[in-house]
Structure 1
């Protein structure tokens, strides 16, 4: 049975007149078990493969191998389906026209899925919104599903739908399933695919070489099959008159959850976190209180993780007003670290966007700031990827020069990795 724990990192001391309380809440799950096997309901998996004409023979053959590898990782008893996507979407497996659009995995189903994947042909355009809409309908055809996850692969831009049509499709499936997205090659748009992944509580990354697809797909499915907690909600209580400024996941990736808020009661808000395996996640909660007198204390927030309607972990965020400068000016290392990591993600994305439109001055400033933040927060992966886009003269001051010849795959890898964070070294 899954066990959860919570730890809170903050400086609870506020100066006279101080109002804003910031805390990092670390939530850890162990013993999560396997998806669909823990008695919490069935799990469903859909593999969505781009079969548009731009895939060509080499990428499509690699995608077939990758999809088959993902099928091999699906646990017996899991409901699953395979979708082929171009300017339209079709159900490649199981071969049904009515009733349940997914089938339980067993040896016969695995063989049938392999045969269906082998028949993929590259043809047509790209309309990812239709792929997502079909996946939503397929998941809905099995009402007993407690856990719904998809893997989406694309190699190109969404040319056969307007941005508005894609937005409508994303909004239509948000909250209905999670989706990890991968782009192969360099002809797809990171921002476009990131929109899908973020809305569907998933991840986005680049597969620079088609030969890497098989390993990536197998690992994605293994990870999904290891999430035995189907769904958990982060709940944040704040006292009467207080304002929750924001709620962000800050590790392992930066995801602003504020816009996903749903009211639980007058003082409590809920935020979706999706399914959980054996892992730790860090959340940054910021609350604005009414200032109290020196020496007074107040509970600023109660942060809970809820599975079903059961509270499985809880952390308390506190506030104490003091006139002792040695206490009130102390910067909590966890809060400082993740504030820097959040700014790092924004600096990378803003810098690359400026570079794309030829604004070299802004690009240099933003990417220089990113280099500075990556060095300060110990994010070695970000520093390594930034070095492929800029020449670093001084990481401490963020003095950089844009490189004239940059591999597009390196630029896209930096973009997709911008939201990945490192844990604060002093945490423990």
Structure 2
């Protein structure tokens, strides 16, 4: 492990966990790369106030996108809770952060401050913004692509490094085509990060999670609108805790080495393989978004050329980089090495690294939950039972108690160890949507 951070905060470290030993002719190398950032402020910390705020924190800009479609009036308290949640998020902004509020229907409208600009958070602008929230009323359709496009235009005017969105919807994206949403999402990907939330149970899980995944944010359900204020506060606290933006995982591989896949596996499963951008000879960059004080795990699989017993090679070098001011060579924050060593020691070459084994199971857990729920919706009882039974088994083995609890609301568990379950005859829609939305959340490997 090496650390090359040029700035006192934050500091990044990279640790590699793998079994580097391969049998003669073996090609597949798997490694878990743990990235930790420390000293950059607390993710989830209290917002800064006063003159020291701008000096001690990076420049940031946030746009809050609030669904104002007609369905937000059913029940009538839903819109009130959304306004209260937005107000709570505004109160959580630290002084000096640029911000705006967008009301979203079949079009996007600047609620505050207006004029195609961002406000700068202080006592006066917070009060003005909360007063402007009274203009948020329900009426109209849902075209989320227009909300994202307006948020991008507003955030583009900011000079801050951290650019973030918070998006709330309660319904399906019915007033623009799926192609229009995909096009808008593609246009803003890499320009800002975004947390997405679905309130109630009338929204589409794959739409909300797809937005959050593309924009390297979090997705969740808030089944009861009364929980919005606490959730918005938590999201904004997390955004205010980010200390460095646009961090990239760069993989360099020697001649003859192929990338199998690159996945974030903790705290959630996100496949980054197709997000690669070329970065010079035999190097590719994978986006990781913004960082505060936190740790994430990545599963990297590479295929090396076949070799004989006793040979060894560098299979890949994983580096954390950030763009340099002025467009120069990027800063290397930290790096780790992935190795391959060929041996005739059968015990060494067949041993599976505990971290690799754990996260392989966690990735499978997320996959079989999605397969099981899809099968259940299609009426495939046997297929759903088999997949969700396997999910129960994987959750039990890995100690993922939160996912196990969510699964128990969809199936009756007969034997967790063998994955023997029965589908429940009646399942609350909120329980099924919660399981689907949170299926990618993982637990860290047991030490």
Does TM-score exceed 0.5, indicating one fold?
A: yes
Between 1:407-416 and 1:359-368, the stretch displaced more is 359-368
Measured after TM superposition, the shift of residue 42 of structure 1 is 2.3
Aligned to 1:17: 25
Q: Secondary structure at the match of 2:212?
A: helix
Alpha-carbon distance in 2 for matches of 1:201, 1:48: 17
Tell me what 1:385 maps to: 406
Instruction: Give, in whole Å, the separation in 2 of the partners of 1:348 and 1:210.
Output: 26
Given that 1:75 and 1:225 are in contact with CA atoms closer than 8 Å, whether structure 2 keeps it comes out as yes
Partner of 1:69: 88
Query: What's 1:94 paired with?
Result: 113
> How far off is 1:26 after superposition?
0.4
1:119 equivalent in structure 2: 135
Q: Contact (CA 8 Å) 2:58, 2:243: kept in 1 or not?
A: no
Establish whether residue 49 from structure 1 lines up as the match of residue 66 from structure 2. Answer: yes
TM-score by length of 2: 0.92
Alignment CA distance shift 1:181-1:126 (3 Å): same
Contact 1:87–1:125 (CA<8 Å) still a contact in 2? yes
Q: Hey, what's the Cα distance between the residues in 1 that align with 2:109 and 2:226?
A: 25
2:24, 2:35 → 1: CA distance? 31
Q: How many residues align?
A: 422
- 5+ residue gaps, structure 1, are none
**How big is each residue's C-alpha offset from its partner over 1:334-385, in whole Å with a ceiling of 9 and x where there is no partner?**
0000000001001011111111121212111111111111111111111100
Q: CA deviation at 1:77?
A: 0.8
**Which residue number in structure 2 is paired with residue 348 of structure 1?**
369
- Is residue 338 of structure 1 aligned with residue 320 of structure 2? no
The secondary structure found in structure 2 opposite 1:137 is helix
**Which position in structure 2 is the counterpart of 1:7?**
15
CA distance 1:37–1:301, change in 2 (3 Å): farther
Q: Using the alignment, how far apart are the partners of 1:414 and 1:394 within structure 2?
A: 20
Q: Is the 8 A contact 1:38 1:228 kept in 2?
A: no
> When the two structures are superposed, what TM-score results if normalisation uses the length of structure 1?
0.96
Partner of 1:168: 183
Higher deviation after alignment, 206-215 or 350-359? 350-359
Name 1:33's counterpart in structure 2. Answer: 41
Structure-2 change in CA distance of 1:283 and 1:38 (3 Å):
farther
1:181 shift after superposition: 0.3
Paired with 1:368 and 1:72, the residues of 2 have a C-alpha distance of 44
CA RMSD of aligned residues (A): 1.4
1:178-207: CA deviation from partner (whole Å, max 9, x where unpaired): 110011110001011111111111111000
Q: Is the 8 A contact 1:37 1:228 kept in 2?
A: no
Relative to structure 1, is the Cα distance of residues 365 and 407 closer, same or farther in structure 2, using a 3 angstrom cutoff? same
Cα distance in 2 for partners of 1:287, 1:329 equals 17
Question: Does the 8 A contact of 1:190 with 1:412 survive in 2?
Answer: yes
Q: Does 1:179 align with 2:187?
A: no
| 1:125 shift after superposition | 1.1
Q: Provide Cα deviations, 1:311-345, integer angstroms capped at 9, x if missing partner.
A: 11111111100000111111111000000000100
Who is 1:140 aligned against?
A: 156
Is 1:198 matched up with 2:206? no
